[in-house]
Amino acid sequence: MRIDTSGSPQMAPPTRTFKHLLLWLFTGTRGGRNRGRIIETLREEPMNTNQLRIVLDLDYRTVKHHIEVLEDNDLITSAGNRYGKMYFPSQKLEESMEVFEEVWSRMREKLSEEEKR
């Protein structure tokens, strides 16, 4: 965090490294589409793995795998344990939401073009 000339705290701009992480997670790997859908869903409402499975119409183990990848990369966080464990966007992701939106919108455009073919 930095202080501007008025004395108000401001968040430092997201680092290029975070953008590269998002690019790799969403465009450089096979599961990028599902990871993006999970984050989009969790931004609307915290959910557990089973709720995500139902909303996204995915296999439970697939959702669990992507949740682990997102948690390992500090894009989501959780509260609770076992089956009631709820997932939320992490503070790191919240602070860099513009970067996520930029990367995810590019990914959605690319997917949309592929579906038209």
Q: Which long-range contacts (CB under 8 A, 24 or more apart) does 108-114 make?
A: 108/36, 110/27, 111/33
Domain presence at residue 3: no
Domain presence at residue 100: yes
Domain presence at residue 20: no
Domain presence at residue 16: no
pLDDT bracket for residue 15 (50, 70, 90): low
**Contacts (Cβ under 8 Å, ≥6 apart) of 97:** 89
- Tell me which residue range forms the domain holding 102: 28-116
Partners of 77 in the beta sheet?
88
Domain presence at residue 107: yes
- Write the CATH number for 40: 1.10.10.10
CA distances to 11, 16, 25 from 56, rounded to whole Å, are 33, 30, 18
How confident is the model over 59-114, as pLDDT tens digits?
999 999 999 999 999 999 999 988 789 999 999 999 999 999 999 998 888 777 77
Cα 33 from chain centroid (whole Å)? 10
H or E element at residue 89: strand 86-89
pLDDT > 70? residue 2: no
CA distance linking residue 55 with residue 40, whole number of Å:
12
CA distance linking residue 43 with residue 24, whole number of Å:
20
The pLDDT of residue 70 is 96
Q: What is the count of structural domains for the chain?
A: 1
Average pLDDT over residues 32-49: 96
**Span of 4-8, 52-56, 112-116 with lowest mean pLDDT:** 4-8
pLDDT > 60? residue 31: yes
